[in-house]
Amino acid sequence: MTPLRQRYLEDMQVRTLSPKTQRLYVECVSLYARHFHKSPALLGPDDIRAYQLYLVHDQQVSWSRFNQRVCALRFLYRITLGKDWVITHIPFPRKPTQLPVVLSPAEVTQFLGAITNLRYRTALSLAYAAGLRISEVLHLPVSDIDSQRMPLRIRQGKGQKDRYVMLSPNLLTLLRQYWKAVRPTECLFPGKSPQQPIGARTLQDVCLRACRDAGVGKRVTAHTLRHSLATHLLEAGTDIRTIQFLLGHNRLRTTARYTPVAATTVAATVSPFDTLPLPPHP
């Protein structure tokens, strides 16, 4: 490991960036260095701009991937190398806004019912019942299930934040059934090692098979279940601030994106057409 990479990692660790972000940033900087065949310490603002143009025009990367690369370089030059350059984004085509895919309650039942493996069905039921991210499901320890007070404690979710979410009685019944069958001791969903969870890729593959077997005509991932829970809560009249807290969103506008897909919100809106006097039948 080069001294620059070591310092870069240390700077990210001191600022408590998540391990996933650290790995991503290191990969981004490595690709940048390989593009120029030089250490990033020998490159400057003109090189950064040229690299951005290369990403947009030659690589045609998505907005999210482009933004990741720029953020990784900004951290490297501003924090690790102490440069006072202003690293800005070059103009980039506006990212199209897409509504999240949401399952109906009937489709959720259909989807989960198609999963015969108890471990996987419990993990994905947890993703829906508590609205968890896949990483939060997989890293949930047995000790954070409070069957007395009925919350689940989510430790160090996205943004390094702890929070509590509801523990559904039906989910608790399923968790108890699963615990009796598997007897996990530390990690709730252990893989080959009791200390390490099953892989996220494994659960995503389970989703693809369950979607096909259930005949659900939508592309379903583990995150689709989180989207569905948020939408169903909104349709049931749950306050949007409560949903924001349960999902662990920093900004309310992130939670508000579920409003356009909530059927009750859309259906309850009165069209001005209903206030018009209709002409007589021809």
Confirm whether 192 is a catalytic residue: no
Q: Which of 7, 35, 163, 223 is catalytic?
A: 223
Confirm whether 120 is a catalytic residue: no
Q: Which of 69, 74, 139, 226 is catalytic?
A: 226
Confirm whether 249 is a catalytic residue: yes
pLDDT of residue 99: 77
Q: Which of 7, 78, 158, 257 is catalytic?
A: 158
pLDDT of residue 257: 77
Cα-based distances in Å from 97 to 94, 263, 280: 9, 19, 41
CA dist 249 and 236 (Å) reads 20
pLDDT of residue 18: 82
pLDDT of residue 266: 56
pLDDT tens by residue, 228-272: 998 898 888 888 888 888 888 888 888 887 777 676 665 555 656
pLDDT of residue 258: 77
pLDDT tens track of the chain, all 282 residues? 789 999 999 999 998 888 889 999 999 999 999 999 999 999 999 999 999 999 988 998 888 899 899 999 999 999 999 988 777 776 666 666 677 888 999 999 999 999 999 999 999 999 999 999 999 999 898 888 888 887 888 886 666 678 888 888 898 999 999 999 999 888 899 988 878 899 999 999 999 999 999 998 888 999 999 999 988 988 888 888 888 888 888 888 888 877 776 766 655 556 565 566 666 655
Confirm whether 201 is a catalytic residue: no
Instruction: List the Cα angle 155/156/158 in 5-degree steps.
Output: 125
CA dist 252 and 242 (Å) reads 10
Q: What's the CATH code, domain 3-80?
A: 1.10.150.130
Q: Which of 32, 77, 178, 258 is catalytic?
A: 258
* Farthest CA pair distance, the chain: 83
Boundaries of every domain in the chain = 3-80, 105-267
Q: Considering the entire predicted model, what is its pTM?
A: 0.71
pLDDT of residue 209: 93
Q: What's the CATH code, domain 105-267?
A: 1.10.443.10
Residue type for 63, please? W
Confirm whether 20 is a catalytic residue: no
pLDDT of residue 253: 81
Cα-based distances in Å from 118 to 87, 115, 121, 137, 206: 49, 8, 5, 15, 12
Q: Which of 133, 139, 227, 232 is catalytic?
A: 133
pLDDT of residue 93: 63
CA dist 178 and 183 (Å) reads 8
3-state secondary structure the chain: CCHHHHHHHHHHHHCCCCHHHHHHHHHHHHHHHHHHCCCHHHCCHHHHHHHHHHHHHHHCCCHHHHHHHHHHHHHHHHHHCCCCCCCCCCCCCCCCCCCCCCCCHHHHHHHHHCCCCHHHHHHHHHHHHHCCCHHHHHCCEHHHECCCCCEEEEEEECCCEEEEEECCHHHHHHHHHHHHHHCCCCECCECCCCCCECCHHHHHHHHHHHHHHHCCCCCCCHHHHHHHHHHHHHHCCCCHHHHHHHHCCCCHHHHHHHHHHCHHHHHCCCCHHHHCCCCCCC
CA dist 134 and 198 (Å) reads 11
Give the closest residue to 129 by CA, choosing from 169, 69, 97: 169
Confirm whether 133 is a catalytic residue: yes
pLDDT of residue 271: 58
pLDDT of residue 162: 85
